[in-house]
Chains A and B, each alone.
Chain A
C-alpha cells in the first residue's frame, strides 16, 4: 500500500488524522485557542480581565501548541505506521514532553508573567498542572478528529457509490453498446477494440479503489473512454490533451477525470450539431496539481441537469479527502464551460508499487 494512502482520515475512524494536512492544523489551532478563551472567560472577573488572562495563557500556550504541531508534522509518516492506540499514546507523550520542556525553559518567565509567585514545591505543581492540561486537550482533539472521521465516512462511502454510478452512466453504456453493434458487421476489428476499451473502463470503475491512483493511469483510462465516445460521435468530438507539464509520479483520487469528461461530452458536445473540442490540461505548479477541462456548450442550453450529481460528488469527495487543500471551481460562460481542480501534489513512492 503506498504511503500516501494515509493522506485522509476517513473510512476507518481508527486512523490518526494526517497532521500534514492544513485543515487538520487549522482545526487544532482554532480548537485549542477556543478552549483557552473559554478558560480565560471563566477565570476573569471583568471584561479587561478576559484579555489579560488570554495574554497570560498565550505566553505558554502558543509555543507549546506550535511546537506540538511542528513535531506532529515532522513525525507524521512515522505515526501513520503505528496502530491507532499506539499512535495516540505516542502523541500524548509527545504533548506532555513538549509542555514540560517549554515550561522548564520559560519557567521563570512564565511565573513572572502570570504574576504567580511560586517557591519550592509549588513549581512542581505548575509543572504537573500544565502537563496534565496539555495531555487532556490533546486527547480531546484526537477524540474530535475521530468523531469527525466517523461522521464523514458514511458520506464517503456514499460518494464512492455515486461516483461509480456516475461513471457507468446508462446513457453512455447503452449508446456505446448500440454503436458497437452498428460496426460489428462492417468492421469487426474496430468493434473488438471498442469492446476491449469498454471492458477496461468498467473493470476500473468496479475495482475496489484506493484513495489515490497514479495520474497516468487515470489519463489512459480517460483516453479509452474518449475513444469510445469518438466512435459514436465521429468528427463531432475533438479532443486536445496537454499533459507535458505533469510529473510521472503524481497521484490523484480515482474517478475524477473521467466523469468530468463524460459531463463535457454529454452537455457540451452532444447538443451541438457541429460538435466541438474538449480541452484537457494537467500540470504541476509548485506543490499543486492543476486539472482543467474546458468545453463548448450550446448557447441557451437548458437541458435537464442530471449531471449535477456527478459534479457535486467530485466536489464532495475532494472536500472530504483534502479539506482546504483542494479547490474546485467552475466558470460557465454563454457558450463554454470550464472546470478547474487544484489538488496537493502527492508523489507516488518509488519503492512501493501502486
Chain B
C-alpha cells in the first residue's frame, strides 16, 4: 500500500511571527523530499482551534509556551476533533516539558529547528497515533483554562471559570454553565484531580465550583422524614444534593 499520494498538510502554531516565518521557510525546504502543503498558521491556541475545525491538517506544529492557552492544552482540545491531527511540539527551552516528553516518548523539536530533524519528525508523524489525553494531562504543568467539546464539526471551548458544576452520568460528564449544559467524555475523578483548587466534591457524581457556592440548605427527603444538605448556587436556580459522606464540606465552608 502506498503512503498518501496527496501532499501532506501541515499547520503551524506559534505566538511569535518570526518563529512561524522560520518554520514556514523550513517546511518549504522540506517540500523537495516530502511533498507537503502548509494549510495555515495561528498565533494562539483559540485561533488555531477555529481554523483547524474548518481546515483539516495531518500534522500541527505547536509551540509550548504561548499566552492564554499553552501548546499542551491546545493539543488536548485538538484531540476532540473527529480526525485529530498528529502533533509535534516545539520549544526553545523548557526543561520540564522536555523531560516529560522524553518520559512519554512524545515527539518534540528544539528551536532553532534543523531541517533534518523536522523532516524526520514529519515522516514519523504520518504514521503516529495522537498522544493520549492522559499523557497530555500528565505533561501539562497547570490545569487547562478551558474544557472542550466537539459539536457540529467544531470544537467549542468552555472557559473553566464559567463552569458552575460537573456531574457524572453514565460515560459522560455534564458540564453546566449559567447558559447551558455540555456533555464531555472525560472521567470525573481526573477532572477533580486536575481542577482541585477550583472545584469541591459534594457527591459521588458531582463537583461544584467553590466560588459558585452561595449557601447551604437543609431539605427533607420525600416521605422518609430524614433530611440532607443541598448547595445553593450563585448564578443558577438549582439545588445540588450533598451526599452524607461529603457533609463535612458544609462545615468547611461556613
B189 within 8 A of A: no
A182 lies within 8 A of B67 (CB): no
Residues of A within 8 A of B65 (CB): 270
Residue from A170, A182, A231, A302 with most neighbouring chain B CB atoms (10 Å):
A182
A178 lies within 8 A of B92 (CB): yes
Residues of A within 8 A of B19 (CB): 175, 178-179, 182, 232
Residue of A nearest to B21 (CB): A182
Residues of B within 8 A of A185 (CB): 25
**Docked CA distance A40–B18 (Å):** 74
Assess A170 versus B112: contact at CB under 8 Å? Given A182-B22, A270-B65. Answer: no
Query: What class of interface size applies to chain A in its complex with B?
Result: 20 to 34
A175 lies within 8 A of B67 (CB): no
Residues of B within 8 A of A298 (CB): 67
B2 within 8 A of A: no
B22 lies within 8 A of A178 (CB): yes
B93 lies within 8 A of A174 (CB): yes
B96 within 8 A of A: yes
B16 lies within 8 A of A304 (CB): no
Point out the residue from B18, B68, B92, B142 that lies within 8 Å of A174, measured CB to CB. Answer: B92
Point out the residue from B92, B113, B142 that lies within 8 Å of A175, measured CB to CB. Answer: B92
B interface secondary structure, majority? loop
Residue of B nearest to A271 (CB): B67
Chain A proximity of B51: nearest CB distance (Å): 16
Residues of B within 8 A of A270 (CB): 15, 65, 67
Give the contacts of A233-252 with B (CB-CB under 8 A): 233-234
B44 within 8 A of A: yes
Give the contacts of B1-15 with A (CB-CB under 8 A): 15
Cβ proximity bits B89-114 to A, threshold 8 Å, 1 near / 0 not: 00011101000000000000011110
Return 23 A-B CB contacts under 8 Å, by A number. Answer: A171-B92, A174-B93, A174-B110, A174-B112, A178-B19, A178-B111, A179-B16, A179-B18, A179-B19, A179-B22, A182-B16, A182-B19, A182-B20, A182-B22, A182-B25, A186-B21, A232-B16, A232-B19, A270-B65, A271-B67, A273-B68, A298-B67, A302-B142
Q: Taking beta carbons and an 8 Å cutoff, which residues of A are in contact with B?
A: 170-171, 173-175, 177-179, 181-183, 185-186, 231-234, 270-273, 298, 302-304
